[in-house]
Structure 1
Amino acid sequence: MTDHLNNRSAPQPVSRRDMLKVGLGAGGALFVVFGLPGLAKHLRPDPGGHTASAVTKAEAETSPFTPSAFIRIAADGQVTLTMPYVEMGQGAYTSIPMLIAEELEVDLEQVTLEHAPPDETLYANPLLGVQATGNSSSIRAAWQPLREAGAVARTMLIAAAAARWNVESGSCRAQSGEVLHAPTGRRLSYGELAADAAQMPVPARVELKRPEEFRLIGTPAKRLDTPAKVDGTAVYGIDVRPAGVKVATLAQSPVFGGRVKTVDDAAARAVNGVRQIVVLGDAVAVVADHMGAAKKGLEALVIEWDDGPHAKLSTDAIAAELERATLGPGAVAQDIGDADSAMASAATQLEATYYVPFLAHATMEPMNCTVHFRGDEVEVWVGTQVIARVQAAVADAAGVPLDRVVVHNHLIGGGFGRRLELDGVTRAVEIAKHVDAPVKVVWTREADIQHDMYRPMFFDRISAGLDAKGMPVAWKNCFAGSSVMARWWPPGFNNGLDADTTEGAIHLVYSLPNMHVEYVRVEPPGIPTAFWRGVGPSHNVFVTESFMDELAAAAKQDPVAYRHALLGQSPRAKAVLELAAEKAGWAQPLPERAGRGVSLQFAFATYLAQVAEVEVNSDGGVRIRRVVCAVDCGTVVNPDIVRAQIQSGVIFGITAALYGQITVKDGRVEQANFDTYQILRMDETPAIEVHIVESSEPPGGMGEAGTSAIGPAVTNAIFAATGRRLRKLPVDTVALRAPD
């Protein structure tokens, strides 16, 4: 996932009774419903004044209540979990069922999953305030409510068995989908008990398992989604084929904000399999029987474009505007002590500027959406991180009531924040309104890269003052760039600031006595920006950890020792730094033009340190040989998934550090496919070691942590190998060439 909205708003405290409702469904199935703030108004008060209570069979069968999420136990004992989070490779469809299975005392294989329908009121992620999968928050958000839901169901099943046997509940226990009465050896399956359990009162409180009692949490349980992905039965958004579906692809204005002037479609219509041409204000779509015909028709179109107001736009001009913006005042993100006075009296002063470019998402599954527009109702098949927003956007684009829009969510072949956006969906609806059949709109790779919504470009002006011993006494940073949050969720942008843009630049793990950080919001003209696998940290950690390395070099101190000396107030950060350095063999010698670099961060509620070992050849080519990572992400649900997330994040981050940039010339994106927007190849991938610190703290996020940490570890290692300090990404190999 990509995870991008950390601490957007402080969630309101939620009691267990706000989160639970228990009832009996058709066929005698027990369901436990757990929800979020605002759910309580949907629950029926019982005579005792409780928020939620068990209901009668008749009430359950006629209740109009729609749960926000629920556990359903069928008469055959099968447990169904309806999830408001979507699987996009991050392992949520295994790790979250592990929470339910742990407390419910069932085997993981007994849990099946259903995508949650759209409902912003009932399904909102409690950490984000909206129904979304992102910001490395799925496990963090699910950790407490899903375990409680499982524990409540288990408690009520035990109570039902005890009542049937006329024994004390304390003499019974749950195990592997059954309730056992040890003194007599009697046992009943959950399926046999479901109807009775639904009549039990909701317990006033439940005891969750202690960590030492976990039998599933903390184990490398096999992923539930692997078999279907291996045998090809897994259904991604791009796989759906409703009856009679047509396939469309499209050409969009090559210049941001441009429009269609004229279209000659005669040659396109002559292509076998092409059914119709749909001309929109800024795009032209070819609808055909299959993708091959649609692409051939697209190539045959002759389109004249009106380039509009951004015909001369360039990334150089945008970068210059950002640089100018950092010379003026910005919104104060953090202010500690008196940085100006400390700087003035410092023994040594350092100043640097840093730059990171626009980045595309380039997900393996290109943007796609299937829509059947029937006039007064719309059906949609898509893989999205924000299903409720999709429903609302479709209703608006189609001009139909919200309840006339049905959205089917599917597996996502890479999100990274791209599928938090709605542009692909609304575009598909615009096309589908002209087609008398379901139409699957698939973007070509070129359209996907050249009409992405990009990770913002940022420019930083940063300085520090050191005392006579080389330790920082002042730290100042002013940076400028786009605020994705201001557009995506305006309430999260206040007083010129949002938590995403500033994460990683403020509240550092280091003890800095005087610190002043400002942010200037500058939106690039015409270029849409979006979340990208850790927007703020992907930029800020690069700047912070690179500049911290600069301070260590100016002080003529070892980079690990220098950081270590500043971590007196952060023992968890100190522990991961020590572990990463030890496992990497930090002090061991390396050959000429090879070096190690370190980075340290606290982001997404996770502490992480990385050491990159690189070699730079005489032509400036960089090869990352090894990456060692130490992570304290609190309680680990599935260590294999944690390792996979870090490995994925490291590869994604190395790609960005070595190759990633979107450049614009004459209003047009210059990169078009993987030949010009290069991805790290298998033979370039380093050995990646992940060492997990055991912790009993609540879980942290993992989807983006590895990505934001790797960039500075690589550039710091390049400095160690060559003495060249890189303050701009991607890596400039020309600057790294050995002197003749």
Structure 2
Amino acid sequence: MKNIVSPSFSRRSFIRTSALAGGGMLIGFNLFQACKPEATPPVDISQLNFNDFNAFIKIADNGMVTIFSPNPEIGQGVKTSMPMLIAEELDVLWENVHVVQGALDTKNFTRQVAGGSQSIRHGWEPLRQTGATAKQMLINAAAAKWGVDASECKTNNGVITNSKGEKLGYGEVVKEAANLQVPENVTLKDPKDFKIIGTDAYNVDIDKIITGKPLFGLDYKEDNMLIASVLRPPAFGKKLVDFDDTAAKAISGVNDVVKFGDKIAVLAKDTWTAMQGKKALNANWTSDSKLESTEEHNKILTDLLNGKEFKTLRADGDVKKAFAGADQVIERTYESPFLPHNCMEPMNFFADVTAEKVRLVGPIQTPARTASRVAELLERDVKDVSVEMTRMGGGFGRRLYGDFALEAAEISNLAKKPVKVVYSREDDMSAGIYRPSIKYKISASIKDGQITGYHLKEASVNTNMYGLIPNFFPAGAIENYQVDVAAYDSNITTGAWRAPYTNFLSFAEQSFFDELAEILEIDRIKLRLDLLQKVKGTTDERIQYSPERLEEVIKVAVEKSGWGNAKEGVFQGFSAYYCHNTHVAEVADVVLENDTPVVKKVTCVVDCGIVVNPLGARNQIEGGVIDGIGHAMYGDFSFKDGEPIDKNFNTYRLIRINETPVIETHFIENDIAPTGLGEPTLPPAGAAIANAIKAAKGIRLYKQPFVKHMKAKAPLG
């Protein structure tokens, strides 16, 4: 790993000042590879406000350090782990670090996004450069004060020492450091010297979370703020004809009723009154298009799979020829339902629209995109739109879209008052942006006991979904390989759901490989490892996974889980998958209780490169596995005449605490830069469970949720 790094930023974009209240030095820095080096700091740096930059370090005279975390925090832990990277290279004690959420800054930074499990991966080197550059400036200041060469000085936990044994704390030289030139080159630590990276760190917000201090969007309030509860069309495809708000306005505490588009907002001083006002509205609706039902979706997807209108994403060799010359062709179809996101914190957002500015505050995964959309909606200059980010009670892709923020901005603009839109759980589930219903058809040709062809077809609701990943396993491992996609447009809104592309595809493919192994009468682990051997040494730059790294997680999972040596009555299922730049293998242990499969344990092996915060990483891994199990086993969401059937947890089934298994986590230790972790352990979970259920019950599952479809199947033997 290279340790000498030339900063990828211009000196003008590296901001430092000692003119802070109480003294100290403020250091700002373009954090990401996609930064804008031409960005110019304010002319009068002494007037810097903490909201002017989305990520910087403040070093006080007493040596205490404040690090501003730039990215949205949705529970994935970046508000803790990203500052850890800076603190490591700055060489300070973690207990002397205070972390503050940064605000949106589109002028100087890009990718202030929580999505795709990419925050740490993109910030790994730039964030460390931030800390290392600040440290070198402090060293240079101390060296000048002592009259020695900077190379004679070392740092340790916020203290600089020279060869004579003299010491100075960071706080004693911050003023001098602020006046020095930014170093041309900085030295990054060798991983073996890490003191903070790789150690357990508690969530920086944990005390506030467990004591109920305000952190989340639902906590945010201002003295003159009104709460808006919005009545939306009751079904996808319906439009507002007219409404009567007499009864709503008669409720004590209701301040106003505002129509915008096909929606009606009731404004009140508190949430309860606003929601009661919404219930009192009398609205009439008409259908402007066909009202869709789940049965119709299933038929359309089946017709798509059997049709000819496909877009080919990758085609190696000649699949048709391989199938024509095969001894046997195996074909299976896999089906998944729509799924809501069901974040613990329902959607909400604050907006204060005035003639001078648009101020937005709330839980959002895409603050820059949201600011741009609000500016377009209100026909304002995006420079007049500010976004302050609160902590989020879950995102899972739902908070990528910002429709709730646009609602708040539009209502505030019409009402001429600061407004916070608050969804009820019913609002959250019936006005969602759902994981689309998808069907996969997977076919494989077998000749002389070998897999000679592989054809994967996807039929999905809506073309705005991301489609398949054509360059993941088994791409490159099978000579004749083809991936096709087809979709139809629905007025039911769909989009990213935790681990897009792969959350259901992993189950389909990994279940299919298990079944292929049975048909070929070979060991299922050997089948996968043999295929990986064919990818090693490939020159195909399209291949995104590492066969060596995937092979290692498989072998370690086999070892750690006791694969093949389970106790009597324990049935095991295996799955391995690559997504979000991370390689994962999982083994599920299932037992039968009253002839019902119960997941008791999941062994999870992860290669995500260097683990920044093992405590947070384990939490992410466990959460992903549990989420994957829960939705594969129970998640079911249907529509009738364009309206969601389930609107709250009394009918929509989530995994329960007594159904969560023991999760045993193992990391592959290496010095490779970190990769994603918020999503990669979810996709393999479904297949591991399904394969274990096959071992336990003799039932091969092709549809989710498993519990529903197990009841409709008889054991296969």
- Rate the CA distance shift 1:659–1:566 in 2: closer, same or farther, 3 A: same
Aligned to 1:553: 518
Secondary structure of 1:453's counterpart equals coil
TM-superposed CA distance for 1:450, in Å, is: 0.9
CA RMSD of aligned residues (A): 2.6
- Cα separation, 1, equivalents of 2:566 and 2:143: 67
SS at the partner of 1:690? Answer: strand
Q: C-alpha displacement at 1:618, in angstroms?
A: 5.8
Match of 1:585, as an amino acid? G
The aligned amino acid for 1:180 is T
Query: Which letter maps to 2:169?
Result: S
Report how far residue 226 of structure 1 moved: 1.0
Q: Does 1:232 align with 2:212?
A: yes
Alignment of 1:64-463 (within 5 A): 67=53, 69-120=55-106, 122-125=108-111, 131-183=112-164, 185-311=165-291, 313-326=292-305, 327-463=307-443
Q: Structure 1 residues 43 and 425, CA, compared in 2 at 3 Å: closer, same or farther?
A: closer
Displacement, 1:277? 2.0
One-letter identity of the residue aligned with 2:362: V
| Residue 541 (structure 1) aligns with | 506
Match of 1:516 in 2: 481
Which one of the candidate residues 680, 685, 688 is aligned to 1:705? 680
Deviation at 1:60, TM superposition (A): 4.2
In 1: Cα distance, 2:82 partner to 2:38 partner: 26
Give the Å deviation of 1:280.
2.9
Instruction: Give the corresponding residue for 2:9.
Output: 17
Contact 1:646–1:706, Cα closer than 8 Å, also in 2? yes
2:577 paired with 1:598: no
Determine if contact 1:612/1:626 at 8 Å carries over to the other structure: yes
Aligned to 2:37: 40
CA offsets per residue over residues 446-489 of structure 1, 9 Å max, x none? 110111101122221210112333x32211111122567x58xx
Q: In structure 2, the residue corresponding to 1:385 is in which secondary structure?
A: coil
8 Å Cα contact 1:369/1:440 also seen in 2 = yes
Matched residue of 1:480: which SS? strand
Q: What secondary structure, in the 3-state scheme, does the structure 1 residue paired with 2:373 have? A: helix
1:309 Cα deviation after fit: 0.8
Q: What one-letter code is carried by the residue in structure 2 that aligns with 1:595?
A: F
1:365–1:187 distance in 2 versus 1, CA, 3 Å: same
Deviates more, 1:97-106 or 1:194-203: 194-203
2:225/2:420 contact within 8 Å kept: yes
User: Could you give the per-residue CA deviations for residues 187-244 of structure 1, whole angstroms, max 9, x where no partner exists?
Assistant: 2222221221122222221111111111111111222121111222241011011112
Corresponding letter in the other structure for 1:148 = Q
Name the aligned partner's letter for residue 587 of structure 2.
V
**Partners of 1:357 and 1:662 within 8 A in 2:** yes
Q: 2: CA distance between counterparts of 1:390 and 1:42?
A: 22
Matched with 1:480 is 459
2:553 is matched by which residue type in structure 1? V
Range with greater deviation from structure 2 (347-356 or 554-563): 554-563
The Cα shift of 1:414 comes to: 0.2
**Secondary structure, counterpart of 1:507 in structure 2:** coil
TM-aligned CA deviation for residue 15 of structure 1: 5.8
1:613 aligns with 2:589: yes
Superposed displacement of residue 404, structure 1: 2.5
TM superposition shift of 1:338:
2.7
Give the superposition deviation at 1:695: 1.3
Q: State the SS of the aligned residue for 1:361.
A: coil
- Equivalent residue for 1:649, pick from 609, 616, 624: 624
Q: Secondary structure at the match of 2:61?
A: coil
Offset of 1:379 from its aligned partner?
A: 1.9
Report percent identity of matched pairs: 34
Deviations along 1:478-507, whole A, 9 cap, x unmatched? Answer: 1122567x58xxxxxxxxxxxx5323x533
Rounded to whole Å, the distance in 1 between the matches of 2:714 and 2:478 is 39
Amino acid at match of 2:123: A
Render the CA deviation track for 1:281-333: whole Å, top value 9, x for unaligned: 3222221221121222222222221132133x112222322222233152322
User: In 1, Cα distance between the equivalents of 2:140 and 2:325?
Assistant: 71
AA of the residue aligned to 1:547: F
Of 6, 26, 32 in structure 1, the residue corresponding to residue 19 of structure 2 is 26
Q: Which amino acid aligns with 2:71?
A: Y
Are 1:733 and 2:710 matched, yes or no? yes
Q: Give how far 1:92 is off.
A: 0.9
Counterpart secondary structure, 1:174: strand
Indicate if the aligned counterparts of 2:586 and 2:688 stay in contact, CA closer than 8 A: yes
What are the superposed Cα offsets for residues 421-452 of structure 1, whole Å, 9 maximum, x if unpaired?
A: 12111111222234343222111101101111
The 8 Å contact of residues 99 and 204 in structure 2, kept in 1 or not, is answered as: no
Deviations 1:121-167 (A, max 9, x none): 53213xxxxx3111001110110100011111111110110011001
The verdict on how the C-alpha distance between 1:733 and 1:416 changes in structure 2, with shifts beyond 3 A counting, is same
Supply the distance in 1 between the matched residues of 2:556 and 2:681 (Cα, whole angstroms): 16
Question: Is 1:714 matched up with 2:689?
Answer: yes
In terms of mean alpha carbon deviation, does 631-640 or 559-568 score higher?
559-568
- Partners of 1:76 and 1:319 in 2: how far apart? 65
Structure 2 counterpart of 1:320, one-letter code? K
Distance 1:502 1:155 in 2: 46
Aligned to 1:3: none
Contact 1:509–1:601, Cα closer than 8 Å, also in 2: no
Q: Given the superposition, is the C-alpha separation of residues 363 and 63 from structure 1 closer, same or farther in structure 2, using an over 3 Å criterion?
A: closer
* Secondary structure class of the residue paired with 2:665: strand
**Cα gap change, 1:35 to 1:696, in 2 (>3 Å):** closer
The whole-number CA distance in structure 1 between the counterparts of 2:309 and 2:703 is: 23
Q: Please give the alpha-carbon distance, in whole angstroms, between the structure 2 residues aligned to 1:601 and 1:739.
A: 27
| Amino acid paired to 1:169 | A
Q: In the aligned structure 1, how far is the partner of 2:602 from the partner of 2:37?
A: 48
In structure 2, the residue matched to 1:491 is none
Separation in 1 of the partners of 2:695 and 2:168?
65
Please tell me the residue identity of whatever aligns with 1:501: G
1:577 to 533, 554, 563: 554
> Contact (CA 8 Å) 2:349, 2:420: kept in 1 or not?
yes
Aligned mates of 1:279, 1:422 — CA distance in 2: 19
Report what 2:540 is aligned to: none
CA contact (8 A) 1:482 1:522 kept: yes
Tell me which residue corresponds to 2:658.
Answer: 683
Check whether the contact 1:354–1:461 (CA below 8 A) recurs between aligned residues. yes
**Corresponding residue of 2:671:** 696
Contact 1:718 1:724 in 2 (8 A): yes
Q: Counterpart of 1:671?
A: 646
Q: 1:671 to 1:583 in 2, by over 3 A?
A: same
User: What amino acid maps onto 1:366 in structure 2?
Assistant: P
Q: Which amino acid aligns with 2:590?
A: V
The change in CA–CA distance for 1:234 and 1:523 in structure 2 (over 3 A counts) is: farther
What is the letter of the counterpart of residue 599 of structure 2?
I
Q: Secondary structure, in 3 states, of the residue corresponding to 2:186?
A: coil
Contact 1:171/1:182 (8 A) holds in 2: yes
Distance 1:298 1:520 in 2: 42
1:635 aligned partner, one-letter code: I
1:616–1:718: 8 Å Cα contact kept in structure 2? Answer: no
Number of equivalent positions:
692
Displacement of 1:552: 0.8
Residues 378 and 398, structure 1, Cα contact 8 Å, conserved in 2: no
Aligned to 2:539: none
After TM superposition, the runs of 4+ consecutive aligned structure 1 residues lying more than 4 A away are 62-68, 589-592, 616-619, 736-740
